[in-house]
Amino acid sequence: MTALALAGELKTYRLPNGAKLVINKREDTQAVALQVWFRVGSIYEDYTQKGMAHFLEHMLFNGSEKYPYGQIDYIVESLGGNINAGTSKEFTFYHITIAKPYWKTALEVLYQLTQKPLLLEEMVEKEKPIVIEELRRGKDSPTTVLWEEFEKTAYKVSPYRDPIIGYEETISKFTRQALLDFYRNFYQPKNMYIVIVGDVEPEEVYKEVLQTFGREEGRPVPQVQIMPEPQQLESRSKTIKDKRIEKAYWLIGWWVPPIGSKEYYALVVLDQLLGSGRTSLFYRELREKGLVYSVSTGDFARPRDNIFYIYATLDPQKLQEVKERTFELIKSLKENLSEEEVQKAKQRIINSTAFALEKVDSDAYYIGYSLTVVGTLDYYKFFDNNIRSVRKEDVLRVLNYLIDKPYNEVIMLPER
């Protein structure tokens, strides 16, 4: 994602079975990050499968051909490493960070975890109540409810509207065969990206990967039609009340360019100017002046139907004032944005990214995200160059997506 990556020895390989391997040789660390990414998440599920990508993530830790239940975590942790996984709307990934001498063990563990799971019937039934309880606990969090309502408000046909964890009615009906079918479709070489970052020899790594992941059969990946969201013509607003909260939550968002597009880099700079950190416009004008308790901005970094949002917590009585002031500040930026502000914002982005990528696991994550979600390694390799090329007029152009355009908002108020 920055020049830090290019300073290493970035090697890319395509295995005979179709799997992609990327290695970033880094001599500045004794840690090695190993990650396996699959281009599958909740947007790839039909309705009966809702929650299946996330459920499979749980299932894969329940034993493999080589390692019985509980041993995978034990092996990695006994060597001082850490292992985890994550499921999103677009991807699922499994990751280990470990000391350099043990990277081969970690690779074997990831291979067993992702390619040789047992997926036993009794473990499927054991996992269902665990995942359903996780879903219910999520509903206990007002912010989880807020964000889920926001996506349901914004997305009317797109599968982005459904929660990653799925629904009780779908999870409770999962069968081992349905899980196996989903697993075989997506957890296979032609849908796989293996990323390794650390002080390793690329050719040695390639040979080890051939002996593990390279043994699996590559099959055609099902083409899933993801419904695009139709153009929104009018703003949508929803107010919900919650007796568990004492302050108001305000979440508002606009349709913006997708990640990886040329305009996206200007959107990253706009985000920095509006809501990232204490130097941002919203922090100075809303937070420091006592209009909100907190305020932040961001986007979903999606390759389609992307949204830029503003998220604030505030006193319910100040909601209208904050909304009006926010819109005023957005319009004022169009009139008052200086070249110097743009240059400073760009440098902060480049500096913070370089700092994040000092950690091998973050470096590997950005490579995996670039390949799996954005669809090109160029996003990772040339991120800082693309940020440097953003001009003031580019920022003003993406700012127009937020001015007098239809938006989606959800307001959560205390129930008195």
What's the pLDDT tens digit per position in 376-399? 999 999 999 999 999 999 999 999
What's the pLDDT tens digit per position in 308-357? 999 999 999 999 999 999 999 999 999 999 999 999 999 999 999 999 99
Predicted confidence at residue 343, as pLDDT, reads 98
6 has pLDDT over 60: no
4 has pLDDT over 60: no
Q: Which domains does the chain have, with CATH numbers?
A: 3-215 (3.30.830.10), 236-414 (3.30.830.10)
Tokens of 178: 């349905």
Predicted confidence at residue 416, as pLDDT, reads 77
- For the segment 275-288, the average pLDDT, to the nearest whole number, is 96
Closest listed residue to residue 244, CA positions, set 415, 23, 35: 415
Task: Look over the chain and give the mean of its residue pLDDT values, rounded to a whole number.
Answer: 96
pTM for the model = 0.95
CB of 275 closer than 8 Å to CB of 298: yes
CB of 258 closer than 8 Å to CB of 326: no
Alpha-carbon distance of 32 to 213, in angstroms, equals: 18
- Pairing of β 192-198 and β 31-38: antiparallel
Alpha-carbon distance of 370 to 257, in angstroms, equals: 16
Residue 86 phi, psi (nearest 5): -150, 145
Within 13 Å of residue 220, how many CA atoms lie on the same side as its CB?
3
CB of 383 closer than 8 Å to CB of 1: yes
In sequence order, the β-bridge partners of residue 256 are: 306
Percent of the chain with pLDDT over 90: 97
Alpha-carbon distance of 235 to 74, in angstroms, equals: 51
What's the pLDDT tens digit per position in 157-196? 999 999 999 999 999 999 999 999 999 999 999 999 999 9
What's the pLDDT tens digit per position in 100-137? 999 999 999 999 999 999 999 999 999 999 999 999 99
- For the segment 229-241, the average pLDDT, to the nearest whole number, is 97
CB of 341 closer than 8 Å to CB of 274: no
Predicted confidence at residue 8, as pLDDT, reads 58
Predicted confidence at residue 1, as pLDDT, reads 37
CB of 146 closer than 8 Å to CB of 26: no
Residue 9 pLDDT class (50, 70, 90 cuts): confident
Residue 291 phi, psi (nearest 5): -80, -30
CB of 345 closer than 8 Å to CB of 272: yes
